[in-house]
Chains A and B, each alone.
Chain A
Amino acid sequence: MPASASWASRPEDLVESLSSLDNTARLKAIRDVKNQIIGNKTKKLSYIKLGAVPRVVEILASDTEVPLLVQSAAAVGSFACGTDAGVRAVLDSGVLPHLLKMLQNGDTQVAEACARSLKMIFHSPLAPKSDMFQGHRMELLLKLLNHGNESVAEVAARVLARCCETKEHQLALANAGGLQSLVSLLAGSIKIREASLDALAALTKNNKHLSEMVIKLDNGDALASIIRLIKDKSSLTRLLACMCLANIGKACPGGYSQESEVRADMLSILMRLLDEPGQAGQDAPGVLADLVANNEELQKAAADQNAVEKLADFLLRKEVPSKQLEGVLLGLSELCSKLENSRRQLLDLQDLKSFNTSLALAAPLLLRPMVHGSLVAALRHPCDGVKVAACACVRSLSRSVKNLRTSLTSEQFVRPLLQLINDPSPAVQAEALTAVGNIVLDFTPQKSVIMQTDGIAQLINLAQSMDHTLRRNAVLALKNFLFMADITVKHRVIAELTIPTLCDLIQDPEEEVQEQAITLVRNLVHGEPDSIEQIFSDGGLLFQAIEKQLINPRPDIALQALYVINNVVSGSEVHKEAVMTSILSSQLASNTSWLTRFLQDTSNPQLRVVAVWCIINLLYPAGEDISSRVVRLREAGVEAQLHKMVDDSCLDVKSHVRTALEMYFGIRHIDGLQCI
């Protein structure tokens, strides 16, 4: 090899030559760089370090010769392919506007090379999203959808599919005529069809309005085209068509007449796609999750086709791509969201693969439930999407007393979940907190697993979050934690939460937080008199806060407050008298006591049932103060009201009204005897 050739190919000199004033030298340099970096990550990184990327981009920005433009666009694509550092480098060099501009270049070769590079860039999660909606970029992309060159139209659809992330993006695209353009591409070649489906799926995701628009587009012809494509020869087309229809079905259930047949077809198609290699197989579990979401019938049909076992099998495999793992966990979460049989099937699956058959037969006890370890590993996965999906899966599995009584309340799950409720990602934090709400319900009075962690402090912290959903879910978790808890647990929660904070939550600006806080108090005062006493500590602040909620115009909130009062009346004489005083003072203040108002409420029998129980509890047990309470209740018009309810339309009310009246009768009878 001549010495000069070796000198010319030195990387530093090649980079220098990229800015040569001689067109031929520039072309040669860029071609050499491009050839060296293709498929070679080390070389890519070394040229990035040497500052090659800005020079390559400069050629694209300022040159006009076709070969130079084609080579520089191709080099940009190579840098962006397969390495985040490469994507970052080309984006930092400001390549996007130049690539977009060059898509309109009159020369097909240039336009196609730029389209390929854009595709590479937008394959990466680092690609900008909102940026593409700034200025005239969106209009340009929409215009390019109708470009005569299919590669250009395809990349425009792909870029739109990747960038369209928010409702605003979706709406902006649709308002600019994007839906119509995309639908017209469905008749194109396989690549363009798939890009169009991809973009249509992005536009309809969680968007009822746009889903309805697609259903109605071209008098249903557009929808019919997508439905036809679920049976296409190409597996990726089938997958993407299913993705579109699953999004439309989820956002707009029952939106078109043949929906249930289409869904059933999609279920079988997706089940088969699970085994496909490549993107079709990787995305199939997530689409399956969207398909069966909120549809119990379809969840049953999926379970009948062995979907639980089939998806769970991926949890056992090594090196499943994150996106696929996320889809698998979401799929399992949906399948187990309502059906106890599916939950059991998943938790009872045994890891037969790790044992040979003879060993398994000889020692069945060695077989461990296989999903536990995989779920815990997924909770600790580096990728946020996987963590969210794993939390969702645990949440679905834990909607079952049986599962909570067996495996899910073990430290194995509790510790990682508690860690995740402080995750920096809001999505992970929210989903973990929801799962924790179920998991804390361990059905043992001592609640030892949570008591040994700092879980209570963490939940109390979140109960004071600025985000009202987090606040609501943290209070709900604390309420569940106090279900049938012993007094030690209750004392600890109240000591850490404090009565004033709990009162604030009862008067929270958000009604759903109020409701949860009141039900927390309901569990707090369920139990022995010591438990009830807590509502009267701190000068009775908590009791007063609950009393105020008895007149809340929302019946479900008032009902919970009434439950709290009922539980208080099941306590000591002092507790009963406190409630009695409350009844009488409300009578004085507004002529009709809250108790009578609940007895007269015809909106919800539950209100009347609990109100009647309050009376029964006030009359029990027959002790010293009973006669006086009977008289005071009669003066408050309660007995007369009970007489009006002997034929109440609700069986439960009717039967307990009778009990209450019998108690009245019994007490009067005893009083009569005493008088004699």
Chain B
Amino acid sequence: MPGQALPPPCTFLNVGQAFAGTQNVSNMNKDEAWKVNVRLQGCDMQNGYLCGSMEALNVPSAETPVVTFWEGELVDNRNYSFYTGQWDATKETDVKHWSKFASFLELREEVQKDGGKSLDLGNHPYIFMRWKEKFFVNVGSDCGLTIAGFYYVCFSRSDGSVNGFYYDPNSSPYQKLELKATNEGRAGHSFATYQFQ
């Protein structure tokens, strides 16, 4: 997908940035919520790649906090489009999930027409992503949580808030992730850095 400019810099997509919030499972059978902490550990805008850790606290089915490592795809129309093309997600699943974000609605028509390939996403106030957990960091895979699915994520450039919906055909539908960028108790915003050689 050539021809699209790189997304401009975004303060809250800086390595080391922390996010905190909750994940909710709310349906006819159950109504649960647990705390979630996320930390961004890698961000490569050029390749539309992000990664980090996600910690789930007080999960009803797990005895200890569960930490996973996730990797993200940035929908930038350069590296990744709105269509997932993997992880059991059909185009219909994609549109259905993206449509749960109010900021997607103005884009929906274009996306349904041709995948939204001509949209200027670099200047959109929200960044759409997919986060896919890759492995458990501190527990075994029998910890009571699954990482089979992935999150559709809508990220606000202006305040770093994250909204997400988990998709896994075998899990409760539309589990909602709500996170806010946090300063972790500091009296302001601070930027860490590292550099690969």
Binding site for B on A (CB under 8 A): 340, 395, 398-399, 401-402, 405-406, 434-435, 437-438, 441, 443, 473, 476, 479-480, 483-484, 519, 522-523, 525-528, 563, 566-567, 569-572, 576, 605-606, 609-610, 613, 616-617, 620-621, 650-652, 655-656, 658-659
Contact = CB atoms under 8 A, between A and B. Distances in A.
A246 to B, nearest CB: 24
What's the dominant secondary structure at chain A's contact region? Answer: helix
B144 interface: no
Contact of B42 (A401, A523, A617, A659): A401
Contacts of B16: 483-484, 526
Contact of B191 (A438, A441, A610, A621): A610
Contacts of A567: 190-191
B191 A563 contact: yes
Given A401-B41, A401-B51, A651 B185 contact: no
A295 B120 CA distance: 29
A269 B8 CA distance: 42
B186 A476 contact: no
Contact of A402 (B134, B190, B195, B196): B134
B188 A480 contact: no
Contacts of A563: 191, 193
Contact of A571 (B15, B51, B125, B187): B187
A438 B197 contact: yes
A651 B123 contact: yes
A659 B9 CA distance: 17
Interface string B130-149: 00001101000000000000
B192 A526 contact: yes
Given A527-B190, A566-B191, A616-B189, 8 more contacts: A402-B134, A528-B185, A566-B188, A570-B187, A610-B191, A616-B188, A617-B187, A652-B157
Contact of B187 (A399, A441, A620): A620
Given A402-B51, A443-B41, A620-B187, A479 B9 contact: no
Interface in B3-56: 8-11, 15-16, 41-42, 49, 51, 53
Contact of B194 (A406, A434, A441, A610): A441
Nearest to B50: A401
What's the dominant secondary structure at chain B's contact region? Answer: loop
Contacts of A610: 191
Contacts of B8: 605, 650-652
A571 B186 contact: yes
Contacts of A652: 8-11, 157
A405 B135 CA distance: 10
16 contacts: A399-B196, A402-B134, A405-B137, A437-B195, A441-B194, A522-B193, A526-B16, A526-B190, A526-B192, A567-B191, A570-B189, A571-B187, A605-B8, A609-B11, A650-B8, A655-B158
Contacts of B197: 395, 399, 434-435, 437-438, 473, 476
B165 interface: no
A620 B189 CA distance: 9
B76 interface: no
A479 B195 contact: yes
Given A402-B51, A605-B8, A652-B9, A519 B185 contact: no
A543 to B, nearest CB: 16
B183 interface: yes
Nearest to B49: A340
Contacts of A527: 186, 190
A621 B187 contact: yes
Nearest to A613: B189
B9 A519 contact: no
B69 interface: yes
A313 B51 CA distance: 30
B195 A569 contact: no
B73 interface: no
Contacts of B178: none
A582 to B, nearest CB: 16
A526 B191 CA distance: 7
Interface in B51-69: 51, 53, 69
Contacts of B134: 402
Interface in B146-197: 157-159, 183, 185-197
B194 A522 contact: no
Contacts of B193: 479, 483, 519, 522-523, 563
A343 B186 CA distance: 37
B191 A571 contact: no
B75 to A, nearest CB: 16
A338 to B, nearest CB: 9
B66 to A, nearest CB: 16
B48 to A, nearest CB: 12
B11 A571 contact: no
A492 B123 CA distance: 44
Nearest to A398: B196
A617 B189 contact: yes
A441 to B, nearest CB: 5
Contacts of A621: 187
A405 B68 CA distance: 11
Contacts of A570: 183, 186-190
Nearest to A564: B191
Residue picked from B41, B137, B159, most chain A C-beta under 10 Å:
B41
Nearest to B123: A651
A17 B125 CA distance: 94
B63 to A, nearest CB: 22
A398 B159 CA distance: 32
Contact of A651 (B15, B137, B157, B192): B157
B71 A402 contact: yes
A569 B192 contact: no
A82 B183 CA distance: 67
A409 to B, nearest CB: 13
A402 B10 contact: no
A34 B194 CA distance: 64
B183 A613 contact: no
Nearest to B39: A484
Residue picked from B10, B69, B196, most chain A C-beta under 10 Å:
B196
A480 B158 CA distance: 28
Nearest to A483: B194
Given A651-B157, A655-B158, A566 B190 contact: yes
A238 B75 CA distance: 44
Given A571-B186, A617-B189, A476 B195 contact: yes
A399 B195 CA distance: 9
Nearest to A655: B158
A608 to B, nearest CB: 10
Nearest to A473: B197
Nearest to B69: A405
A398 B157 CA distance: 30
Residue picked from A398, A401, A522, A569, most chain B C-beta under 10 Å:
A401
Contacts of A526: 16, 190-192
A609 B189 CA distance: 12
B9 to A, nearest CB: 5
Contacts of A658: 158
A625 to B, nearest CB: 12
A563 B188 CA distance: 13
Give the top 3 A-B pairs by smallest Cβ distance, nearest first. A570-B188, A617-B188, A401-B42
A2 B42 CA distance: 85
A396 to B, nearest CB: 10
Contacts of A437: 195, 197
B192 A656 contact: no
A500 B30 CA distance: 60
A393 B196 CA distance: 14
A525 B15 CA distance: 15
B156 to A, nearest CB: 9
Contacts of A609: 9, 11
A622 to B, nearest CB: 11
